[in-house]
Structure 1
């Protein structure tokens, strides 16, 4: 990977394996309890930012169909093109999440599932601090991070002929980063996958938080 931008690897990878990763008619699968949890926590017609939204399924679609205003951001143009077709009532933007700009206190919730782990480690805590400012007081953050620290690639990921890159810290580090960003971790769980897994966090911006 020397001399190669890992973000380009991720972008090209998802452009290539978009349909192999998630079909147009995919259901909510393991995301279902998380989506139900979000719907319970959101106000009616809440505003949601889905960072690393992929093709819009399942999070953006489910929340949009429930009447929420969803904005999705993803590196992959192919993923975003699909999302605009599959979830026409949401708004989608092709962008690097670490460079995206939103006004302070814009969202009732920010979702970042299986996306932080595709970003350079040095940029992850910075993004978490920015996410905290995008949330309204009492707003919710739902994110997955690594369970164990690891950085590496996999060739021919999902058998689709593309290379993919990941970089993630461990559970304790993500918990610390989220707290340092100014959010309160209310719940966390281990999500098993193959021989390891991921850590899922629910966090909230305090009601007394002030907009910078």
Structure 2
């Protein structure tokens, strides 16, 4: 498990082109994104944590008038973001050491945060708070229950982990976020377990 977790960064760098080809552009996430946007001010700043190549989520946010800052550990994926959306801000960065020195109206970690080991996930919540304005919305996906799982991408192990839902709630509360909506294995969103919270 540990070796698979440690290989995530290099996996997405080495297989960026394959990920770009295979990542669906249909927005099954639309309802969640619209709910997220409903909590934000006009022309909001949004931090996309683990943004991949910027499609389809960042593209949707940009089309809705958001100023997007995207970070990803994969340099090839960030290069695609810069090519496709040159007016936005993109940076190669490891979310675990995120320190941008600014706050955002909204933060998203969709299908990215759950690649971290449990101890690294716990450390992310102060970073979420550090980068969130008062009233900022936070949208992220997790697993349905505590545990680790190994999938496969391009024939290599693909690591996922989740904390217990009660621990996510406690971490959010400890970092000044209130849960606005939470659905386990949402059937309308491809079975994703989704959290939407708002900073108090």
Structure 2 length normalisation: TM-score?
A: 0.87
Write the distance in 1 (CA, Å) between the matches of 2:115 and 2:185.
Answer: 17
CA displacement 1:68-94 (0-9 Å, x = unmatched): 111111111122111212222221111
SS where residue 138 of structure 2 aligns? strand
Instruction: Look up the match of 1:209.
Output: none
What number of residue pairs does the alignment pair up? 198
CA displacement 1:124-153 (0-9 Å, x = unmatched): 122112211211111111111111222243
CA, structure 1 residues 74+26, in 2 after alignment: closer, same or farther (shift >3 Å)? same
User: C-alpha displacement at 1:192, in angstroms?
Assistant: 4.8
Query: More helix per residue: 1 or 2?
Result: 2
Write the distance in 1 (CA, Å) between the matches of 2:131 and 2:107.
Answer: 8
Mapped pair 1:122 → 2:119? yes
Instruction: Look up the match of 2:13.
Output: 15
Write the distance in 2 (CA, Å) between the matches of 1:123 and 1:173.
Answer: 14
SS where residue 86 of structure 2 aligns? coil
Structure 2 unaligned blocks of 5 or more: none
Instruction: Look up the match of 1:188.
Output: 182
CA-based RMSD of the aligned residues comes to: 2.4
User: C-alpha displacement at 1:111, in angstroms?
Assistant: 0.6
Instruction: Look up the match of 2:70.
Output: 72
User: Structure 1 stretches (4+) deviating beyond 4 angstroms?
Assistant: none
Determine if contact 2:44/2:67 at 8 Å carries over to the other structure. yes
Instruction: Look up the match of 2:171.
Output: 177
SS where residue 97 of structure 2 aligns? coil
Determine if contact 1:147/1:190 at 8 Å carries over to the other structure. yes
Determine if contact 1:60/1:87 at 8 Å carries over to the other structure. no
Write the distance in 1 (CA, Å) between the matches of 2:9 and 2:23.
Answer: 23
